A = this chain, B = another copy of it.
Amino acid sequence: MRRGAFAVPPGIYLDGNSLGLMPLVTRDLLERRLGEWSHEAALGWESWFGLAESLSPSIARLVGAGAHEVVATGSITSNLHSLLATLYRPEGEKRTVVATALDFPTDLYALRAWTDRLGGTLRLVPSRDGHTLHGDDLRAAMTPDVALVLLPTVLYRSGQRLDIPGLTAAAHAAGAVIGWDAAHSIGAMPHALHDSGADFAVWCHYKYVNAGPGAPGGLYLHERWHHLTPGLPGWWGNDKTTQFEMTTGYRKAPGAGAYQTGTPSILALTALQGALGIFDGLNLAEVRERSLALTDHLIAQVDRHTPELQVVTPRSHDERGGHVSLAHPEARELSRALRTLGVVPDYREPDILRLAPVALYNTEAEIDEVVRLLRTLLDSGEHRRTLTPASPVT
């Protein structure tokens, strides 16, 4: 939809669910920012001071929330710690936290730190098939002793999409607070976090949002919680109008901006600014439509040409995110072999090949070529002889 707006590397890139491509505008924006640092130095803060807040309307549109309910800050992990420090308040018997065995590990590290600290229990909903979660199991885990639930909007390995409104309602019916890790859905589909009633969410901006390696994260906090004082406060979350009075008392900013902590990286926020500008001009329903068309095409091609690769991503549109996961005992070797052929897929232990045809810059022709290469590899066995080392990709 916007391929011309990106620096598209040579070969075929199907790893935008790990690191999105660089928007061409980002280089110009960063150059302008370096010019400000060069020529204005500290006076540059006159324009940088509200930079994070200036991005909130664009971010709010991506997640379906009010601009006052979101802010670009921290990382998924640090934002999760901030929100858990604020919203996880075990009382009496109500102290269990529900997550899942298929969550991205850092979410579990954060949750366990807080259940350990405050005397709670972390309950992990298991998977029946090793790849996906069953709605019945998730709902059954939401017993009256549950204080907080954290779920992924889209599972990072299988690409399964969960039912945000339904599971949010179930958590609320159990009297629990519910948060969402939207890392694998933001930028790939519309959201309605506020209308769903979700209490909070965290995400990164370096996947489908294309804000660069290790870009600032984001968080959403429903306005019903804006009266709370952040549990891990910092001066950048102080009310902006009094921040520089430098008093010893913290006066929180009125909305989600209160969850900022230290001075944000202006260079990193600038790359986010460039990336968000592309989405400002897009209809998110059309982004989702294009994403589904691409993943439909990929699944159909795999079914037809490489049926030995098992599609573990749910086939229903409602239950699918932006990437397709293929299970195969030689997934690691296939991933390495594809790289030597100029294709960048993504591999996840122990047997998952993840392919993300991204709405904004991938094409059907690229998908066809990758499936053709996979067929050739499977026929020749050439991938079993490839010895390039695996690389770390987030």
Contact = CB atoms under 8 A, between A and B. Distances in A.
Contacts of A234: 75, 77-78, 81, 106, 109-110
A43 B15 CA distance: 10
Contact of A19 (B21, B45, B74, B244): B45
Contact of A77 (B42, B113, B261): B261
Given A78-B234, A265-B214, A105 B250 contact: yes
B77 A78 contact: no
Contacts of A48: 213
Which bracket fits the contact residues of A? 35 or more
Contacts of A245: 349
21 contacts: A19-B45, A26-B34, A37-B213, A43-B344, A45-B392, A49-B392, A74-B78, A75-B236, A75-B261, A81-B81, A104-B246, A105-B247, A105-B250, A106-B235, A109-B234, A109-B235, A213-B265, A213-B267, A214-B267, A215-B265, A246-B349
Contacts of A46: 391-392
Interface in A106-127: 106, 108-110, 112-113, 117, 124
Given A75-B263, A216-B265, 4 more contacts: A9-B39, A77-B261, A109-B233, A117-B231
A110 B232 contact: yes
List 9 A-B pairs, minimum CB-CB distance, nearest first. Answer: A75-B262, A77-B234, A106-B235, A7-B38, A213-B266, A265-B268, A19-B42, A77-B261, A214-B265
A288 interface: no
A147 to B, nearest CB: 16
Interface string A200-230: 0000101000001111110000000000000
A348 B38 CA distance: 23
Interface of A: 7, 9-10, 13, 15, 18-19, 21-22, 26-27, 30, 34, 37-46, 48-49, 74-78, 81, 85, 101, 103-106, 108-110, 112-113, 117, 124, 204, 206, 212-217, 231-236, 238, 243-248, 250, 261-269, 271, 339, 344, 346, 348-349, 391-394
Contacts of A85: 113, 117
A41 B26 contact: no
A278 to B, nearest CB: 15
Nearest to A75: B262
Contact of A231 (B13, B76, B113): B113
A18 B46 CA distance: 13
Contacts of A213: 37, 44-45, 48, 263, 265-267
A41 B244 contact: no
Contact of A261 (B38, B43, B81, B204): B81
A217 B235 CA distance: 14
Nearest to A40: B9
Contacts of A108: 248, 250
Given A45-B391, A105-B250, A246-B105, A76 B262 contact: yes
Contacts of A21: 38, 41
A216 B267 CA distance: 11
A232 B265 contact: no
